[in-house]
Structure 1
Amino acid sequence: MTQCAVGHAAAAEHQQAAEIFSAVYRMSRDRAGVSRPAYSETETAVLKFLEELAVHAGLSTAYDAGQNLVMSLPEDAGAEQFVLVGSHVDSVPMGGNYDGMAGVIAGVMCLLRAKARGERFARSLKVIAMRGEESAWFGPCYIASKALMGVLSREELAAPHKGDGRSLDTHMEGAGIEMAPIRSGVPLMKAGDILEYIELHIEQGPLLIGKDRPAAIVSGIRGNFRYKAIRCTGEAGHSGAVPRAFRKDPVLAMSDLLTRLDEAWLSIVQKGGDLVVTSGVVHTDSETNAMSRIPDQVDFSLDIRSQDPETLRGMRQLLADEMAQISHERKVTFATGSLNATAPARMSQSVVDGLSAAMERIGLAPMVMASGGGHDAAVFANAGVPSAMVFVRNQNGSHNPDEAMEIDDFMAGTSIIYEYLRGGARA
């Protein structure tokens, strides 16, 4: 192919990717950004759009037992073992259009490029568009990948939807999924059939922006433990009439707890450890709260993440100890509700090295970094599947309408994966 032809092909791919992102955006617009709820009609419509796109391009499509869309070159449709590339199509409420979708569309673009060029990958490739990764809708995260690997728990299946209160199990069944195997912990996809799992994702922090790099390879993913709604219960009273010694103020008790966790966070980071602590939801009862009323309860979320399992274990113990101590000091009680936890995941060094080499071959300086956010790749890695990720530069973080990935950077990340998959390509 001449240099001119290569340039025209690259421009056409750039335009095609932009059009796919735009189409998905239009299908899932909300008051701000996009909303693609897990196991919703909107999520299903996006999968149907991707299926029609793939079929029109001459690709093979199928739905797996979790009603995730799987796409491939026709020659690889029946492959018993394969490299799996993909991500999730759902979003947080009023989030951005690239979180998750970029990984799916990157896989689709790899297939479309191979189809257009008449090329084969070194090993059979399947691209997966997964449902239900975000925790925003039910509490549990990585729902589809956990179901595929047989590790979606009964407690997670019982989690209620934030809107209608119906269980995750009910919503999955409503999406056409046969639930008996999932309830029994039977994997919907054999880990041994997946040669490798590769996921492209927008970076959710500022490192690539700061270093002016379009993409990087991910070395590991933080694990976490989360409580969707911890309730601290005290005693209501008049703000001017109850002296401090007689107060049972749950808001001040929660403040004590978060302050002590923050102090532990600072200490661990100062010693070179890895930890982040977040309480993203805090509220008193909207029906009874008032400026002049000591609240009787406060609900708040807690999300604690680290790449070190020992740090996570230590923070769980610290949380329990501090809640017990503050309960005694403030005369309140804490109820944590159900726990959602995911172990940290190390990416496969051989896949990381291979992607780094591919990055260099296409003219980009290799860069390797850790992921602060969690991803489906962690579930596959912890199930024994050699896994790795490619991060793409993205301004303004993620989980918000202002995600600002550039298509040029996206295509650079896609080309890293394509070059890696093509290494030693079959005739």
Structure 2
Amino acid sequence: MSLPAALAAEAPRAQAMLDRLATIGADSPGITRHAFDERENAAHDLAIAQANRLGLEVMRDAATNLYLTWPGEDRAAPRIMLGSHFDSVRHGGNFDGAAGVVAALAAVSALHATGFAPRADITIAAFRCEEAVWFGLGLIGSRAALGILPQEALDRRRADTGRTLAEHIAACGGDPGAIRPGARLLPPGPIRCFLEAHIEQAPSLIEAGVPLAICTGIPGNIRHAAIRIAGEDAHVGLPRRFRRDAALAGADILTALDAMWAEEEAAGRAMAFTIGRFHTDTAKHEITVVPGDFTFSIDLRAYDADHLAALERRFHAILDATAARRGVSIDRGARNAAPVGPCDAGLQAALAAAAARMGVATRPLGSPASHDAANFAAAGTPTGLLLIRNANGSHNPREAMETADLMAAAATFAAFLRDAG
């Protein structure tokens, strides 16, 4: 069977898997596949069923990441890894993360149908808990696999259950005691490269009329989940000069950050920030009370490590200036970071060439989001990322990936794997 014919035959199977994933995660108004819980487990079971159909080797590590390996003729040769994740944000969409695992499985299944025999192992990974919403730290599964998960992360509590990460890993059959900095959990042997596919977060490909992008880079980020501003509660009629208004201090910080973003954008320096939480304590504060405390979160990101560090310094300067001007104190709380993930230039070219051979139009595009691939890039593994056209962004119920575009990613992976041997 030819590769195009095999890919065409594979499309209904990929669609059926996506439909089943939607059923597993159904949680009106969208999809919720909780990390380290029954729904993520069920998604892994779907992938294992496909692996068993293809005769792939199935392995789980101590963090319960899943590895599905097509054995190569030379088991000592550096393997090619592909993968992504199955967990979602709460009430998100069906495709963020899951599309990458489904595309990788479709590529391998199509190659298998053609009679192709890989020279080296090909491993598909489904990493646990990529989304930061569950434990306040993102990319947990790939961090654990690469031996870079902070030890304190095992004591973090999941946002909805209150149970620790260690408890959740153990409940899923893992071994939290084996997860520690410096201890890699990946399948043994060298890795030739790591490839991921993911829906795009902004409708750039919709705008361009192109189904697929070859990612040029993945931003690093700095995150604070709870920055607390402490001022002084007061009566609503208190004159401005006497106030230590924590909410106004928060507004000042938000406005200053937006001005910084506009300045950076005008200078051609790509960055982004998001303040996802921005609130007084509604159980304490009233319509006639000047709020003496205020909480907000921040996710600050950029594509270059030095640029990200400079932005963080500017952010700290904004906090200090606001605290002095408003007469408040600011506790930054815990800081988390994800590394900048440069996409390998050689892999960018090879993926673009593979897409062209399969008749898939592509364009270069930076990813605005963090991905498991960034951890591999930061660890020195050559890394490539495909972005799949998606009309409505991600982390929302309206994610809108067409299966034909998913199969364009699968075709690109399949052509790359075939030509890589």
TM-score by length of 2: 0.95
Question: How far off its partner does 1:85 sit?
Answer: 0.5
* Rounded Cα–Cα distance in structure 1 between residues aligned with 2:170 and 2:230: 36
* Residues 1:356 and 2:352 are matched in the alignment: yes
Question: How far off its partner does 1:176 sit?
Answer: 2.3
The one-letter code of the counterpart of 2:169 is M
* Rounded Cα–Cα distance in structure 1 between residues aligned with 2:4 and 2:340: 41
Question: How far off its partner does 1:139 sit?
Answer: 1.1
* Alignment partner, residue 374 of structure 1: 370
* Alignment partner, residue 113 of structure 2: 116
Question: How far off its partner does 1:118 sit?
Answer: 1.6
* Residues 1:30 and 2:3 are matched in the alignment: no
Question: How far off its partner does 1:191 sit?
Answer: 8.8
Task: Spell out the pairing of 1:118-157 with structure 2 (5 A cutoff).
Answer: 118-157=115-154
Q: Structure 1 residues 196-205 or 79-88, which shifts more?
A: 79-88
Task: Spell out the pairing of 1:66-145 with structure 2 (5 A cutoff).
Answer: 66-73=63-70, 81-145=78-142
Question: How far off its partner does 1:380 sit?
Answer: 0.3
Contact 1:51/1:61 (<8 A) preserved: yes
Question: How far off its partner does 1:81 sit?
Answer: 3.0
1:370-395 CA distances to partner (integer Å, 9 max, x unpaired)?
11111011000110111101111001
Counterpart among 383, 391, 414 of residue 379 in structure 2: 383
* C-alpha RMSD of matched pairs (Å): 2.0
Unaligned 5+ runs, structure 2: none
* Alignment partner, residue 299 of structure 1: 295
* Alignment partner, residue 290 of structure 1: 286
Task: Spell out the pairing of 1:272-421 with structure 2 (5 A cutoff).
Answer: 272-421=268-417
* Rounded Cα–Cα distance in structure 1 between residues aligned with 2:74 and 2:15: 27
User: Aligned with 2:179: secondary structure?
Assistant: helix
Counterpart among 248, 254, 261 of residue 252 in structure 1: 248
* Residues 1:168 and 2:165 are matched in the alignment: yes
The one-letter code of the counterpart of 2:267 is K
The one-letter code of the counterpart of 1:229 is A
- Cα gap change, 1:374/1:76 in structure 2, threshold over 3 Å: closer, same or farther? farther
Contact 1:214/1:409 (<8 A) preserved: yes
Counterpart among 43, 48, 52 of residue 46 in structure 1: 43
User: Aligned with 1:423: secondary structure?
Assistant: helix
Unaligned 5+ runs, structure 1: none
Q: Structure 1 residues 310-319 or 175-184, which shifts more?
A: 175-184
Question: How far off its partner does 1:53 sit?
Answer: 2.9
1:147-166 CA distances to partner (integer Å, 9 max, x unpaired)?
11111112333332212333
Contact 1:268/1:274 (<8 A) preserved: yes
* Rounded Cα–Cα distance in structure 2 between residues aligned with 1:85 and 1:77: 18
User: Aligned with 2:416: secondary structure?
Assistant: helix
Counterpart among 4, 11, 16 of residue 14 in structure 1: 11
* Rounded Cα–Cα distance in structure 2 between residues aligned with 1:140 and 1:246: 39
* Rounded Cα–Cα distance in structure 2 between residues aligned with 1:333 and 1:407: 51
* Residues 1:215 and 2:212 are matched in the alignment: yes
User: Aligned with 1:334: secondary structure?
Assistant: strand
* Rounded Cα–Cα distance in structure 2 between residues aligned with 1:283 and 1:42: 31
Question: How far off its partner does 1:37 sit?
Answer: 1.5
* Alignment partner, residue 233 of structure 2: 236
- Tell me the matched-pair count: 421
Contact 2:33/2:39 (<8 A) preserved: yes
- Cα gap change, 1:362/1:203 in structure 2, threshold over 3 Å: closer, same or farther? same
* Rounded Cα–Cα distance in structure 2 between residues aligned with 1:230 and 1:290: 21
The one-letter code of the counterpart of 1:119 is F
Question: How far off its partner does 1:257 sit?
Answer: 1.0
